[in-house]
Structure 1
């Protein structure tokens, strides 16, 4: 049993990031990555792979992204962790001693305990197996019900509708996209979906799946209504994979494996990062959700630095996120107004509607921006953008960086920006400056 300097459990973005950082370091680190999926999916891209226009391979993460960067790859399931003797055992009967261990076990789709949920023609949206099954279902079915109106559920709804299916989204909360999107933007997105023919049922709960035949599902709702479907897509969130850690006596919670600011667990020389690890908010310092691939990468970088002897702390997640709904793109970073109020922050918000180009140009659209500030110190704590086209990611990235740098209202008012008739608003107008100016009036 040759001891590895580092054993990594999990082949998602966190595990791969650590491998890459070891490869580019000036240290010769021997690393073994163990994962139980033969081929990982690019999980964010799974909804867009449902049409069979491109081969499944396009939506896979090549194992070469591990092996080409100097790490040993083991396809096996970890059966247990011995934190006393510092070794990992697998179901194949192998044992891997380590100096440092990284838990990057990710998360799994939440399968709600609804009667009939284990029946045929019901799928999650996570793995290559899920994607292959969804392709099969969408190619033969005509009616789909999506349970869950978050980002993934809405993305699946749009894709299936574009494929010509009859699509209904069932969301138990008062609105879709409630976890990430400001109320000022949700209505416009919901209207766009309904105008395109996607049916939205909010404040509605699924209570049972009935399977009258192999190719039909009846979705029964709490209101007493029923929906006939050829298949159902479950998109109600994910849960951190903490079982291995818990079995090894490592501290866990419903939000993940407990870690400190160095991403260390309470077991000696054991780290955790990515979906499986607990997260704290950059703004509030309090526990929060944040199952985004980018967060996994940021946390993994902290782990790699610390294993390499370069002390580094992780400041918390800002949860920058974006999605697309037909020709619209939208996203947010930091806290929404409601999140900030729930955290006890005295907030002031600013809103702006600014043209995307000079007004005399062709195809001019409106960019809608909302910024959230802490009234006490005038720092930005959150922001959201809704606009036509695919530029929202750049806007959200700016907001995220402003939060990270502790930018204040004064900083944003003095912000210097570029302008061009085809590329930006006229010189006097800027989405962040105008939203900040609006907040200052309050």
Structure 2
């Protein structure tokens, strides 16, 4: 039985059906749709993706065709782990009933953090997570003049560009002092912030939202922060996510934020309960600690592993580096592992190597500058993280460095890894070699 069906749940179901032919699979999902790619919301707002139906890669109908008991708009209200039973409510009819399972895969996902801000229930103060949110944002965008985005993570950052290119007046607000503080250091993202300002986006960083202003008719008219008030007739809250695991509080081991602890086979503290995706913690190879990293890539891997390990522990999770990428206007940016700021917060003794160069020889008809930043541990020389920024798409290099971190490689080893040379693509010393060569100690 599977509880929840976005990325982790969909992967778990499809793989269970494929691998365990004798399994009877049932899924309970609160929404009326599955597998929605929320990373495409900004693309739909911007008009790049015309049909939002393209943001789904599976459907309840497809699962039903595979023989899955597909229960949409059903909410699990209680779980008895000892008896292996669920209490379920049909959200359409209100009927409640019990169901039993042999193995349970919890893929209940996450929900946007809703901070306790005064007047947060005003009309046009919206969240951004699922298909319903996406449709509501597009609908309200049509008549909006001034938009405030609260939260400078990936979703907020992408929405800023989407609204600005639609001709809206945009204010970008976050408690931190920069864009994407969890994924990028200030010296990597500073060019993007300058570009925002050039395009008329108001950056209101280092400020906390205190209240939303009521226009007198129940609609939002502005945002009051700890340092200034800003006009807005549409507000999108994107201040992060928290795991939806209240059903299992006190029943399964969790991190303090409610993320379910799992081992390398996706098993929870209960032998017949697995968990995957945004509802649980994941091992970070860079920090060598368990943490909360709600990414779709982590979710599909974990869902796949839960299915593979249902009958016996056969396939281990290799951990994650939190590898991610983003395109902001014409800047291609990606990161993996720890930023310098995160390494500092963890108390690690680290150093950095920063390379700024053209990505291919200057004798070519054209080339583009890039910035590549490597973070590594001083004592062990182990690579901790990397970030790249360029108008040329060099983001696949971060996937290479993700593998390096996963395998515990040192900066000294990276300096002499065999990479090809071809003037169309790079220089005789690949830039991954070069950034590591800079970090070599003198002989």
TM-score normalised by length of structure 1: 0.92
Aligned to 1:128: 131
Structure 2 match to 1:284 = 287
> Structure 2 stretches of 5 or more lacking a match?
91-95
The alpha carbon displacement at 1:398 in A equals 0.9
**Cα deviation, residue 61, structure 1:** 4.4
How far residue 30 of structure 1 moved from its aligned partner, in angstroms, is 2.1
> Which of 171, 174, 179 does residue 176 from structure 1 map onto?
179
| Counterpart for residue 81 of structure 1 | 79
Question: Match for residue 435 of structure 2?
Answer: 435
Q: What is residue 407 of structure 1 aligned with on the other side?
A: 409
Separation of aligned partners in 2, 1:68 and 1:410: 53
Equivalent-residue separation in structure 1 for 2:174 and 2:345 (angstroms): 22
Please report the RMSD computed on the Cα atoms of aligned residues, expressed in angstroms.
1.9
Aligned to 1:47: 42
Per the TM alignment, residue 27 of structure 1 is displaced from its structure 2 partner at its CA by: 4.3
1:251 alignment partner in structure 2: 253
Sort the Cα spacing of 1:54 and 1:109 in 2 relative to 1 into closer, same or farther, 3 A.
same
C-alpha separation in 1, matches of 2:65 and 2:387:
39
SS at match of 2:249: helix
- Cα deviation, residue 415, structure 1: 1.4
Residue in structure 1 matched with residue 300 of structure 2 by the alignment: 297
- Report what 1:100 is aligned to: 103
Query: In the TM superposition, what is the alpha-carbon distance from 1:341 to its structure 2 partner?
Result: 2.9
Larger displacement relative to structure 2 (375-384 or 110-119): 375-384
Measured after TM superposition, the shift of residue 289 of structure 1 is: 2.4
Alpha-carbon offset, residue 214 of structure 1: 4.8
Within-5 A mapping of 1:373-392: 373-392=376-395
Q: Does 1:21 align with 2:15?
A: yes
2:420 matched to 1:426? Answer: no
Determine whether 1:218 maps to 2:218.
no
Deviates further, 110-119 or 409-418: 409-418
Tell me, which stretches of 5 or more residues in structure 1 are unaligned?
1-6
Greater Cα shift, 170-179 or 275-284: 275-284
Aligned mates of 2:113, 2:20 — CA distance in 1: 41
Equivalent position of 1:230 in the other structure: 233
Q: Separation in 2 of the partners of 1:110 and 1:283?
A: 26
Matches within 5 A, 1:189-228: 189-212=192-215, 213-214=217-218, 216-223=220-227, 225-228=228-231
How far the C-alpha of 1:25 sits from its partner, in A, is 2.2
Give distance in 2, aligned partners of 1:373 and 1:277.
27
User: How many residue pairs are counted as aligned between the two chains?
Assistant: 431
Change (3 A) 1:336 1:68: farther
2:93 matched to which residue of 1?
none
Q: 1:359 matched to which residue of 2?
A: 362
Separation in 2, partners of 1:283, 1:261? 16
Q: Which residue of 1 aligns with 2:56?
A: 60
